Amino acid sequence: EPIVWPSSVSLYFVAKLARERVKVVLTGEGSDETLGGYTRYAWTVANSRMDRVYRSLTPAFFRRWVRDGIGSGVLPSGLRRKLEHTFVGRDGASWPSFYFDNFYSAFSAAEQGELLTPRARELSGNAYAGSMAYWDKSSGDLLHRLLYTDIRTYMVELLMKQDQMSMAASIESRVPFLDHVLVEFTARIPARYSIQGLSGKHILKLAVEDLLPHSIVYRQKMGFPTPWAYWLAGPQLDELEKMLLEPRTLERGLIERDAVRKLFAEHRAGRRDNGNRIWRLLNLETWQRVFLDGELPTLKSISPQAVVAVTEPRSS
């Protein structure tokens, strides 16, 4: 399947490095989804509180006007990106927009309508149907509903990613935080012990304060970055745009030409960081060339600073 996460690249090389010394590793997967570690949990809880006040004080037409203004591109890209994650930039009456569009999808539901052809939209259906089914079944306070939904959906994807990348490097990864007894225990922990302000996993940090340095326990949470944004800052951006606008790409009937051009134009002008969106389209097209068109993956140097996956015809 296509590689959705840029962090898969980093994870593969970390696994490959670990394989030089060991055959099995322990990882922390699952601790965020069981103990509220992601910033989005605390942010959503706070955002939800402020949204209730905001909606009670302002009429719907005003809220739509504000959202349209944020999405118009008039504001500086950094400010717009921050506001898009708040209650003023999201429709609080729509949970898919307020949470799933906000933190999960590279392309929001509205952007999918612009990017995908009618045929592709018909094939894909409702991208949030599975997540919403678990959300509707969840119970308890807001944090525990978020955790339950993520455990049943988002975490499954992360475990698949970890399994793929670790096994590609011939190393086994174990997930002690997902021992079923521990997971059942965390489900009963009151939200106030997991979240403090905008910080998560509070109870876990307290539990290991005497085992690890304070600077490690309470350092700012970090993702697993790749230099993808740096790679896109050079001439290789033109190569990627050319690939995604080739007739063979567009003739698949999945994406709209004008939407792709808009993505690259916004990115070049600095109006919006579309790196994650470009990554997903690139990997989808590369996957199709390899697995549907029967091409062999090769490595072609696009610039001295970057190497990206491209394909060449399979020899007969």
Helix/strand/coil for 306: strand
Q: What does the H/E/C string look like for 154-212? A: HHHHHHHHHHHHHHHCCCEEECHHHCHHHHHHHCCCCHHHHCECCECCHHHHHHCCCCC
Mean pLDDT of 13-31: 95
Mean pLDDT of 294-314: 53
d(CA 29, CA 44): 21
Minimal CA–CA distance to 224: which of 131, 316, 300, 162? 162
d(CA 267, CA 200): 32
Mean pLDDT of 83-106: 83
Q: Which residues contact 273 (CB under 8 A, 6 or more apart)?
A: 77, 81, 229, 267
**Does residue 121 carry a pLDDT above 80?**
yes
The structure tokens listed for 140 are: 């308890």
d(CA 237, CA 187): 45
Place 21 in a pLDDT band, splitting at 50, 70 and 90. Answer: very high
**Does residue 149 carry a pLDDT above 70?**
yes
Residue-wise pLDDT for 165-190, tens only, equals 999 999 999 999 999 999 999 999 99
In the prediction, which pLDDT does 300 show? 54
Residue bearing the bigger pLDDT, 268 or 81? 268
Mean pLDDT of 26-44: 92
Place 136 in a pLDDT band, splitting at 50, 70 and 90. Answer: very high
Place 299 in a pLDDT band, splitting at 50, 70 and 90. Answer: low
In the prediction, which pLDDT does 309 show? 44
